[in-house]
Structure formats: structure tokens, C-alpha cells
């Protein structure tokens, strides 16, 4: 029973994009590992930008530095 957690920043990921991620990850696990889609769980967690860090900085600060 695979469990996959996808974390993205909360920046307007659409319902359709989430559905495509869930379908794509499920298909990958079926094709590569032979897992059953009926027991494959995919969870998408949206994280506020201020709660996500990269390069030692919150994402908004990191983006300002790299622009």
C-alpha cells in the first residue's frame, strides 16, 4: 500500500493540476512497481510560503535574492 505525500507551496495549484498529479503518481507506481491503484494513496499538502525555506531563507526572501 504505497503512500506518497507531495508538498507544494500554496500558490494557486488548481484542482485540475492536483488531479493530474494524483493520476500521474498513481500510474507511475502501477507501471514501475506493479502496485494496485486501489491501494495507492496520494496526498497533496499545500504549505504557506513563509513556512517553506530554501537556501537558509524563507521562499519569499530567497526569490528576492535570486531575481
Angle CA(10)–CA(50)–CA(7) in degrees, nearest 5? Answer: 40
Tally of CA atoms within 13 A in the half-sphere of 38 that contains its CB = 0
User: What is residue 17's predicted lDDT score, i.e. its pLDDT?
Assistant: 98
Question: 9: domain CATH number?
Answer: 3.30.429.10
Q: Which residues contact 48 (CB under 8 A, 6 or more apart)?
A: 9, 10
Per-residue model confidence as pLDDT tens for the chain (67 residues): 999 999 999 999 999 999 999 999 999 999 999 999 999 999 999 999 999 999 999 999 999 999 9
Number of domains in the chain: 1
β-strands 57-58, 53-54 pairing: antiparallel
Residues carrying an active site annotation: 2
Domain range holding 18?
A: 3-66
Amino acid at each position: 500500500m504505497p503512500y506518497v505525500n507531495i508538498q507544494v507551496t500554496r500558490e494557486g495549484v488548481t484542482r485540475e493540476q492536483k488531479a493530474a498529479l494524483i493520476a500521474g503518481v498513481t500510474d507511475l507506481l502501477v507501471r514501475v512497481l506493479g502496485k494496485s491503484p486501489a491501494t495507492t494513496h496520494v496526498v497533496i499538502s499545500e504549505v504557506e510560503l513563509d513556512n517553506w525555506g530554501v537556501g537558509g531563507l524563507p521562499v519569499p526572501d530567497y526569490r528576492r535574492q535570486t531575481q
